[in-house]
Amino acid sequence: MTRNQPTDSLTVGLAQIAPIWLNRSKTLEKILAQVHTAVEKGCHLVVFGEALLPGYPFWIERTDGARFNSPMQKEIHAHYMQQAVQIEAGHLDALCRAAAKVQIAVVLGIIERPADRGGHSLYASLVYISPEGVVQSVHRKLMPTYEERLTWSPGDGHGLRVHRLGPFTVGGLNCWENWMPLARAALYAQGEDLHVAIWPGGLHNTQDSTRFIAIEARSYVVSVSGFMQASDFPADTPHLAAITADIDGPLANGGSCIAGPDGCWVVEPVVGEERLIVAVLEHRRVREERQNFDPVGHYSRPDVTQLTVNRQRQQTVQIVD
């Protein structure tokens, strides 16, 4: 880190925002604006919620998403796919350039349409962009949750990686992956001491798990959620009336928060508003709490239990020319 980086602290921004739903270009403009605001507030890392670009598939539970061969479901899914992110096509290039220009790291939840799986399947992916503007890892959600499986594909372990940022080692997981003990352990074992948990939005997700993971890991845990209410759906959304019928309150109410390595709140959950939340994290607190417990260090028994992680990117074909 070269931009006024204190040696033992890190300033982080939690961008709790709504997308311009299923509009990749306009949502990216909103993300870029938040990046610049985060830099103005002194942040060295800015984090966005799960599936923010271009949006979470709220329509599934509201429009009988499991109905087989439904023309409505096919039409909405096709639109979702068309607005998804293909990194190989340059859809994140503007964000990478912005990160490099202002020297800030970015964690972003995207709906990825990767060419290496044929280009017509979708994955909920967590992308880490370095302060040099380089996409250093793309973690595809290991197991979509419940109705998400109707539109997202299961990922693999390729993105279970950590990244050095200032005094911290940063890793992250998507939504309910944060409840998967072996996925967490894979990051702990690589030295993670700043865990990023991204969510589509919801206090019910973050209020307990954030503190529990912090206590277990003796790490900072930054939980970042999206926000979404009926008024956030663009007027040109396919089947808008069916999707928004009888909405009572927000579909995603936020809940972004930070817990310290002792499990106490650094920032209590923020609900009911779009907001950039800024906090300074002190690495000293990690070292203090590791004195009595380190889950993969002095309080582990690798001679008794070990974890094997397959980080190979899974593909359906291996072509040898």
State the virtual CA torsion across 61, 226, 197, 103 in degrees, nearest 10.
140
Task: Measure the CA–CA gap between 172 and 127, rounded to whole angstroms.
Answer: 9
3-class DSSP assignment, residue 294: coil
Catalytic sites, residue numbers: 50, 141, 175
CA gap 182, 200 in Å, rounded? 22
CB atoms < 10 A from the CB of 293, how many? 14
Q: In 152-279, where does DSSP find H-type helix?
A: 181-188, 203-217, 240-244
Q: How far apart are CA 273 and CA 185, in angstroms?
A: 33
Q: Which residues pair with 13 in a beta bridge?
A: 46, 278
Q: Rounded to whole angstroms, how far apart are CA atoms 281 and 229? A: 31
Show contacts of 117-124: CB within 8 Å, 24+ apart: 117/153, 117/315, 117/316, 118/316, 119/86, 120/81, 121/153, 122/80, 122/81, 122/84, 122/151, 122/152, 122/153, 123/152, 123/153, 123/155, 124/50, 124/51, 124/148, 124/152, 124/155, 124/174, 124/175
